[in-house]
Structure 1
Amino acid sequence: MAQIITFARTGGPEVLELHTVSVGEPGPGQVRLQQKAVGLNYADTYFRTGIYPVPLPSGMGVEAAGVVTAVGAGVDNVAVGDRVTYTGFTNTLGAYSSERLIPAAPLIRLPDGIDFETAACITMRGLTSAYLMRRIYPFQGHETIMLHAAAGGVGLILTQWAKLLGLTVIGTVSTEAKAEVARAHGCDHVINYSHEDVVARVREITGGAGVAVVFDSVGKDTFMASLDCLQRRGLLVCVGTASGKIEPFDPAILGRKGSLFVTRPALADYIADPAEKQALLTELFAHVAAGRIRIDIHKRYALADAAQAHRDLESRKTVGASVFTI
């Protein structure tokens, strides 16, 4: 029997429910997966609240790692006993489970140097960081970038990757404890937005020029400030809406603020091509296995504590990566 988390209505963390179910045998194109670690991502809250609408009732979570225990007809990309990880969107929804049936197509074989907990922390966050660093902007190695939530799971990976590319990183955080974590992972300048003016500090740090790229995972509360931190013809990358959806705005603002660019990319569009996905994975796994990018797990939860995990995530109590362990 397997433990799973589901939700039958959208709402707060209290809508998450723990159930015990029988998993059964995989059908054509499916595998049965004994899960060892499950990723906790801010995107999970978007499914729960309805920002990402899905038919209800539904499973929760899109990222996990484990061992293949059975394969269905037509499966040839993985075999029983393989160590695998996965991330996706609705095609992998239901990751909050100890055992599950899942399509074989999204599964990724794990290299020997990557353990299950690390895999559950880097498949979504790491691939996100990979395409943000390698596909969004043609970095030459001299640019200054800014990122919000610098002590978060994606923020810490982004910072380390940016330093490998020779970039100068400015990060924002809410507490001094988070500032220390960001600095320890390579952040060159840390701004505590609880008592510092982010735009003024960015202009001070950059000699008035602004930054080439802002990675903004906060959304509504930081959108305009992020624009004001950019240099002429700079790029704002909207990668999340932790504070709420960005309100409609007049595109003419972009011209008035320096002919700026804004994009809202999605991971799915950068891993849809199998060759591109594999290239990003190869680089990501190599950095992590070699220790060039380190993954520090802040907290481990049981599946039964999913609601509390979401509360911690939304109240910004988490630092770095958190996982559910099975």
Structure 2
Amino acid sequence: MPTAVRIRQTGGPEVLEVADVDPGDPGPGELLVDVAAAGVNYIDTYHRSGLYKLDLPLTLGMEGAGTIAAVGPDVSGFRPGDRVAWQGHLGGYAQRALVPAKIAVHVPDGVPDETAAATMLQGVTAHYLVRSTYAVKEGDTILVHAAAGGVGLLLVQLAKARGARVIGTVSTEEKEQLAREAGADEVIRYDQVDFAEATRELTDGEGVAAVYDGVGKTTFDGSLASLAVRGFLVLFGASSGPVPPVDPQRLNAAGSVYLTRPTSAHYVRTREEIDWRFGELFAAVQDGSLKVRIGGRYPLADARKAHEDLQGRRTTGKLLLLP
């Protein structure tokens, strides 16, 4: 019987259990996929800890890639043997998973399964952030937190491709080098200096057009202080913890700035939007203009270690589980 990583209760990495799980046959609109690689993301830790409430028990994992084993009724455009990838649906931490056909995308030739899995959730996040939430334009200066992380490295590359000047924040020399290799024009070691002050210095006191902040609690105040007048604070995650309630008057005082808390589900609402975003992402991967760094590969049974490494800030790039 196929195995999967399940939780029966919320808590720390110790609640992750490897169990036999039979997903069953695909129902209407579903695909049964033999999973080749599953992505590990910060949202998985929110599900595991209970920060995001879900019914238990459940199989973790919001993205993956693999080969279709069977196709359910009322499915068109997919057949057994096709390579597919997906994001936005629980159940990826498994050897076999049921995936709604409406969110699956074909993996092009020349894109390995591991790269496809590593591109899905973080790739679509980076894409909607720079193309839609705040549409980066040529000449903008932006600030990217955790610039050597899975989303950060993609954000830097996509923003540079649109003609932006990119300032990144990192915590180690190794991460600084990775951010620069991805194209960051300036890198701030936030463990050594006040990043808001450094950002002001790098922009002649003006601040940046947008801050992409997936860290949350510990960076929020500095992010707000880094913005130019009418700038955008794009809060897309909370790796350091959730941001406390904010008085809207603070946005006025900071320069009539904007605050938004986007989530990927609101940016892939139609088949057309899914195909547009992943079409651009996979095309960039194929032509080499977007490099997806896989920072760690773990057997499915080592999901606990993957979570510990991710939350311990010991990783760069993308983490994958390999069933």
Same fold, TM-score > 0.5, yes or no: yes
Aligned to 2:46: 46
Q: Cα deviations across residues 78-117 of structure 1 (Å, max 9, x unaligned)? A: 11111000001xxx20110011223222211111121100
The structural deviation recorded for 1:124 is 0.7
Aligned to 1:169: 166
Number of aligned positions between the proteins: 323
1:185 aligns with 2:182: yes
Aligned to 1:134: 131
Aligned to 2:317: 320
Counterpart-to-counterpart distance in 2, 1:208 and 1:240: 27
- The correspondence of residues 88-99 of structure 1 with structure 2, limited to 5 A, is 88=88, 92-99=89-96
Gapped regions of structure 1 (runs ≥ 5):
none
Counterpart-to-counterpart distance in 2, 1:76 and 1:138: 33
The structural deviation recorded for 1:297 is 1.1
3-state SS of paired residue (2:154): helix
The structural deviation recorded for 1:67 is 0.3
- Provide the TM-score with structure 2 as the length reference: 0.98
3-state SS of paired residue (1:227): helix
RMSD of aligned residue pairs (Cα, Å): 1.0
3-state SS of paired residue (2:103): coil
- Pick one of 294, 297, 300 that aligns with 1:303: 300
Aligned to 1:238: 235
In the alignment, residue 86 of structure 2 is paired with which amino acid? Y
- The correspondence of residues 1-326 of structure 1 with structure 2, limited to 5 A, is 1-88=1-88, 92-326=89-323
The structural deviation recorded for 1:135 is 0.7
Identity of aligned residues (%): 46
Q: Is the 8 A contact 1:37 1:65 kept in 2?
A: yes
The structural deviation recorded for 1:321 is 1.0
Q: Cα deviations across residues 165-208 of structure 1 (Å, max 9, x unaligned)? A: 11011111111111111111111111111111101110111111
Counterpart-to-counterpart distance in 1, 2:187 and 2:37: 31
In the alignment, residue 181 of structure 2 is paired with which amino acid? A
Specify whether residues 268 and 23 from structure 1 end up closer, same or farther in structure 2 by C-alpha distance, changes over 3 A only.
Answer: closer
Q: Cα deviations across residues 233-271 of structure 1 (Å, max 9, x unaligned)? A: 100000100111110121111111111110001100100
Q: Cα deviations across residues 2-30 of structure 1 (Å, max 9, x unaligned)? A: 11000011110001100123343222322
Counterpart-to-counterpart distance in 2, 1:158 and 1:248: 27
| Poorly superposed stretches of 4+, deviation over 4 Å | none
In the alignment, residue 225 of structure 1 is paired with which amino acid? G
- Provide the TM-score with structure 1 as the length reference: 0.97
The structural deviation recorded for 1:139 is 2.9
Counterpart-to-counterpart distance in 1, 2:187 and 2:164: 15
Counterpart-to-counterpart distance in 1, 2:22 and 2:49: 27
